[in-house]
Structures are given as C-alpha cells and as structure tokens.
C-alpha cells in the first residue's frame, strides 16, 4: 500500500492501521455473546459468539513480551515466538502448520512489548484440531540447537527488513531507546542485533519454561461456536496442564526525566522524518484518574483522526509542510506508554519549521478548548466503528486478548464508549497541559547526512 492513499485510509478499520485504531475505538460486547472463565490451573478463557459465517478464530495470549526482558537478553520473547513453530515431540517439525493449512486454516503469531499471541482461523468444525496442537506446544516444545541456529538467521533478516534498512524503523527504535532510561520499553521487541548475535537456544528454552504456562495465558475464541462444547474442548486439552510458579516480573520503573530529549539521526540519501513521544499514563498506571487516559485518547483523535483533524488540517493542508502526519496512544499498555506523533515532511521542507508548527498546535491545545464539532466527530467515529468492527472476528479476538492480558478486565470494553463520551473539552485541555510537556518529551529527527 502506498502511503499516498493513506489520506483515504486514516479512517479506521483498514488492516494496516489496526493497532492505531485500537487506541480509540472498541466494540462493546453484549453480555450474552461473551463468556469468561478461569480454569483451576489459572488459564483464562474468553469465548465470543459470532455466527455470521461457519468460521472460528482461536487465539492464545501469553503475558510475556519484550517488556519482561533485561539488558543483554533482548529479543527473547520474539525469538521464542519463532521457535514455537518448530514442533514438539508428538507433532514434530511443521506438522502443526501443515495440518492447519490442510484444513484450509490460516495461522500466525505476533509479539509486542506486552504480550505474545498465537492464532489459527479456520472452518469452525475444525476448532478441536487447533486446540489440540496449540495446547501441546504450551509445554512440550522441542528447542533444538540446529533449528535455533537457522531461525536466528531468519530473525536477523526480519530485523534488517523492518529496522536496519528502514529510516523510520531506526527512528522508532531510537525514540524508545532514548525516551526510557530504565523502563524495559527502552528495548526493541525484535531485540538489538548484538543480542541476537549472542542469543542461544538455552536462553530461549529458559524463557519458555519461565513464562509458558496456563496461569500466564488467555485463550480467546471468537466465531461460530457453542459455549458449552467449546468449554469442554478447552478443558479436555488444557485442563490437565499444571500451574507453574511464574517468577516475579522485574519491575523497572522509569525515573523522572529532566528535560526534553532531542535525537538527530543522519542517514545518507534518506528522506527526513520526525517521530516524537510524550510519556503518558495507561490504565495500569497507579494514582492516575482513568479518565485522563480516555481524554488522551480523544486528544489523539483530535490530532489525527480524519481529514479535519489538527495535524492534517494544519500541517498537511494549510501550511503544506507535511505529506503525512499521525498520532497514536494506547491506554491498554502494561507500562507507561508514549503518546506518539510522527510526520513525513514534504521533501525539501525544513525540519525546524515543521517542529515549530507542531509546537504551535500543541500549545494551542493546552491554551484553548477544542471545539464541540471536534468532540462530536470523535464520538461519531467511535459509535460507527463499534458497528464496523463486528465485521472481523480476528479483530474482536485481538481486542479481548489484548485487554485481558495487559489490563486484566474485559468489562472495560463495555464501558469504553460511555467513558469516551464523557470526555469534555476542558478535560482534553487539562491532559494536554499535564502530559504534553517538555519534561516528558523525546523527539527523533532523521536528516540526510551532512
């Protein structure tokens, strides 16, 4: 997809933007459609009925991500995710993947700072097959040295593709590494290349034993299912798994920041780019009114959702200095996240000029109340996306899995719209004043090498 078309797809629901949108728009679950249970061994189970098509998506979410890693051992969660496709004693090599493929299913996995998730989407009559394999690899994975040595090369290729050859990828990585001194959000999900070079299969194996257990996981199944039968299947395959003592998570609290951090990256022959972040709270942050998070979410919408949003209107249309501008915030982070803004300048425009225009936009939000029409726009979009999101079972499962894993309480989804609707113009101004400040700001600029 060319960026050019983004103008038309900054609206929600387009695949590439899925995770930006998560920050803003959620589908409430009517209680009758959702069932939540915890097995005796601690496994969380969330089932959601959607009978539009004879299809089901089966997810498992582990509460383990790069946020749980330590210096020198970054990238373990993601590398383990790759190794999870290498087979078990019972189902060696690619048996699992081949079976899902033969049934006409799709499968994949993803790792974030906060979690690692695996899923299969397939015709609903084959759900049991997916559960059979997925439950088996929760504790029977075979991690061999020869597989690891090949797979780590694949991961390095992935890193080259996504980060090392991409100025925007480098800038993103540098933003987090610079913004956070101690918080493990400092480190990239994929890991530093240096750590990938020193990683061993033993590291992976230890990581697996520490974190992959029923009491650190949530199974989410959405689709054409019968609750009772599905619960029986889950008990059949997961019920006998033993609880594991999960070691204490290392809490790496972030110390205060003393002023704005500015990082300038020079890469020969690359277009300029700006990405910045303010440290802000999430719903997990202690001693913060959760309404602040909802107000920050609305603030992000004011800045970047739709053509009449501030960044679009001012930087792209009026000042004509940016070809694209975006913002994002996820209140469902385990640790304090960044409120992000990123800008692709029009080629040839001065970075300084764009920064000062951007600062004016931020200052205005701190000084003046946003218009009623702006708030109404966000609310209309939230309302509509509640409906539109029902069109994807995978999306529904992702929201449930993410919120359960990161925050622990899926009833937040039901209250989401209500809370967004409560946000007032003065609250938006208050959170802008409180959080979009120099002392929590980090900005990374990419410039052509001098």
Partner 1 sequence: MMKSRIFYLYKITFFIIIMSITNITKADVNISSYETKNGIKVLFFKSDNIPMIDIKITFDAGSNRDGDKKGLSMLTHSLLDEGTSAKKSEEIASIFESNGSIFNTSVNKDRSSISLRSLTQQKYLNPSLRMFLEILSDSSFPNNEVNLQKKRTISTIIEDQSDPSEIASNLFFKEIYGDHPYSHPSVGYADSVKKISRKNIKDFYEKNINAKNASIAIVSSLPKKEVIAIAEKISKSLDKSKKKITINEIRTINKKEKYIYKNFNSEQAHIYVGLVSIKRGSENHLPLYVGNYVFGGSGFSARLMQELRVKRGLTYGVYSYVYPLKEEGPFLIGIETKADQAQKSVKLIQEMLAEFIKEGPTDEELKHAKNSIINGFPLRIDSNSDILNYLSMINYYNLSKDYLKTFTSEISKITKKDIINAFNKEININSLVTLIVGNAKAKK
Sites for partner 1 among residues 358-377 (CB under 8 A): 373, 376-377
Pairing of strands 217-223, 44-49: parallel
Q: Which segment (14-22, 279-287, 353-361, 404-412) binds partner 1 by CB under 8 A?
A: 14-22
| List 62, 237, 324, 332, residue binding partner 1 (CB under 8 A) | 324
- Asked if residues 80 and 66 have their Cβ atoms less than 8 Å apart, the reply is no
- Position 30 contacts partner 1 (CB under 8 A): no
Nearest to 26 by CA among 297, 311, 286: 297
- Asked if residues 171 and 121 have their Cβ atoms less than 8 Å apart, the reply is no
- Position 17 contacts partner 1 (CB under 8 A): yes
- Position 32 contacts partner 1 (CB under 8 A): no
Give the nearest distance from C-beta 220 to partner 1 in angstroms: 16
- Position 323 contacts partner 1 (CB under 8 A): yes
First to last CA, the chain: 31
Residues 274-293 that bind partner 1 (CB under 8 A): 275
Neighbours of 9 (CB within 10 A): 14
Residues 251-270 that bind partner 1 (CB under 8 A): 268-270
Give the nearest distance from C-beta 342 to partner 1 in angstroms: 6
Task: List Cβ neighbours of 235 (8 Å cut-off, separation of 6 or more).
Answer: 39
| List 37, 41, 73, 110, residue binding partner 1 (CB under 8 A) | 110
- Asked if residues 282 and 335 have their Cβ atoms less than 8 Å apart, the reply is yes
Tokens of 298: 């609305």
- Position 55 contacts partner 1 (CB under 8 A): yes
Give the nearest distance from C-beta 305 to partner 1 in angstroms: 8
Residues 149-178 that bind partner 1 (CB under 8 A): 149-158, 160-162, 164-169, 172
Rounded Cα distance, 405 and 168, in Å: 28
Residues 117-146 that bind partner 1 (CB under 8 A): 121-123, 126
Task: List Cβ neighbours of 9 (8 Å cut-off, separation of 6 or more).
Answer: 1, 16, 17
Give the nearest distance from C-beta 101 to partner 1 in angstroms: 4
Give the nearest distance from C-beta 223 to partner 1 in angstroms: 9
Q: Closer to partner 1 at the Cβ: 202 or 380?
A: 380
Q: Closer to partner 1 at the Cβ: 38 or 198?
A: 198
Given its phi and psi angles, is residue 359 left (phi above 0), alpha (psi -120 to 50 degrees) or beta? alpha
- Position 320 contacts partner 1 (CB under 8 A): yes
Q: Closer to partner 1 at the Cβ: 161 or 369?
A: 161
Q: Directed axis angle between helix 351-367 and helix 290-304, to 10°?
A: 130
3-state secondary structure of 57: strand
Q: Closer to partner 1 at the Cβ: 25 or 294?
A: 25
Residues 341-360 that bind partner 1 (CB under 8 A): 342, 344-348
Rounded Cα distance, 348 and 331, in Å: 35
3-state secondary structure of 284: coil
Point out which residues pair with 327 in neighbouring strands: 341
| List 71, 266, 307, 359, residue binding partner 1 (CB under 8 A) | 307
Residue with tokens 């991961």: 155
Task: Fill in the per-residue mask, 382 to 401: x = in contact with partner 1 (CB under 8 A), - = not in contact.
Answer: -xxx-xx-xxxx--------
Neighbours of 39 (CB within 10 A): 18
- Position 247 contacts partner 1 (CB under 8 A): no
Residues 68-107 that bind partner 1 (CB under 8 A): 78, 81-82, 85, 94, 97-98, 101-106
Number of residues forming the site for partner 1 (CB under 8 A): 105
Residues 216-245 that bind partner 1 (CB under 8 A): none
Give the nearest distance from C-beta 40 to partner 1 in angstroms: 31
Rounded Cα distance, 444 and 225, in Å: 47
Rounded Cα distance, 85 and 143, in Å: 10
Residues 396-435 that bind partner 1 (CB under 8 A): none
- Position 447 contacts partner 1 (CB under 8 A): no
- Position 182 contacts partner 1 (CB under 8 A): no
CA–chain centroid gap for 154, Å, is: 22
Nearest to 186 by CA among 83, 257, 248, 289: 257
Give the nearest distance from C-beta 19 to partner 1 in angstroms: 4
Task: List Cβ neighbours of 14 (8 Å cut-off, separation of 6 or more).
Answer: none
Give the nearest distance from C-beta 259 to partner 1 in angstroms: 24
Tokens of 385: 């996306």
| List 64, 141, 311, 316, residue binding partner 1 (CB under 8 A) | 316
């Amino acid at each position: 997809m060319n960026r050019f078309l983004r103008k038309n797809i900054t609206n929600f629901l387009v695949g590439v933007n899925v995770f930006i949108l998560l920050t803003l728009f959620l589908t409430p679950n009517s209680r009758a459609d959702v069932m939540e249970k915890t097995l005796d061994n601690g496994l969380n189970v969330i089932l959601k009925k959607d009978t539009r098509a004879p299809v089901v998506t089966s997810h498992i979410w582990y509460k383990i991500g790069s946020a749980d890693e330590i210096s020198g051992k970054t990238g373990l969660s993601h590398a383990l995710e790759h190794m999870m496709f290498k087979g078990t004693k019972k189902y060696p090599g690619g048996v699992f993947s081949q079976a899902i493929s033969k049934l006409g299913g799709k499968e994949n996995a993803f790792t974030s700072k906060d979690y690692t998730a695996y899923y299969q989407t397939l015709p609903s009559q084959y759900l049991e097959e997916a559960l059979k394999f997925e439950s088996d690899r929760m504790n029977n994975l075979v991690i061999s040295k020869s597989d690891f040595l090949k797979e780590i090369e694949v991961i390095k290729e992935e890193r080259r593709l996504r980060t090392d050859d991409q100025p925007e990828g480098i800038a993103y990585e540098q933003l987090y590494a610079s913004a956070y001194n101690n918080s493990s959000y400092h480190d990239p999900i994929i890991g530093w290349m240096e750590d990938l070079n020193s990683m061993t299969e033993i590291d992976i194996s230890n990581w697996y034993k520490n974190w992959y257990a029923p009491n650190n996981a949530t199974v989410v199944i959405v689709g054409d299912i019968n609750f009772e039968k599905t619960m029986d299947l889950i008990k059949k395959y997961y019920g006998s798994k033993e609880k594991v003592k999960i070691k204490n998570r290392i809490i790496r609290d972030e110390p205060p920041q003393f002023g704005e951090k500015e990082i300038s990256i020079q890469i020969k022959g690359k277009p300029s780019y700006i990405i910045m972040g303010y440290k802000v709270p999430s719903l997990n942050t202690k001693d913060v009114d959760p309404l602040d998070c909802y107000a920050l979410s609305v603030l992000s919408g004011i800045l970047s959702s739709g053509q009449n949003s501030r960044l679009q209107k001012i930087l792209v249309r009026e000042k004509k200095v940016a070809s694209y501008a975006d913002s994002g915030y996820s209140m469902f982070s385990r640790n304090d996240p960044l409120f992000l803004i990123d800008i692709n300048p029009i080629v040839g425009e001065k970075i300084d000029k764009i920064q000062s225009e951007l600062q004016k936009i931020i200052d205005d939000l701190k000084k003046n109340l946003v218009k009623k029409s702006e708030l109404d726009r966000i609310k209309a979009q939230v309302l509509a996306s509640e409906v539109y999101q029902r069109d994807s079972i995978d999306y529904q499962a992702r929201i449930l899995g993410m919120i359960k894993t990161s925050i622990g309480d899926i009833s937040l989804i039901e209250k989401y719209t209500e809370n967004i609707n409560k946000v007032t113009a003065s609250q938006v101004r208050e959170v802008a004043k409180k959080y979009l400040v120099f002392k929590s700001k980090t900005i990374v600029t990419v410039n052509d090498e001098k």
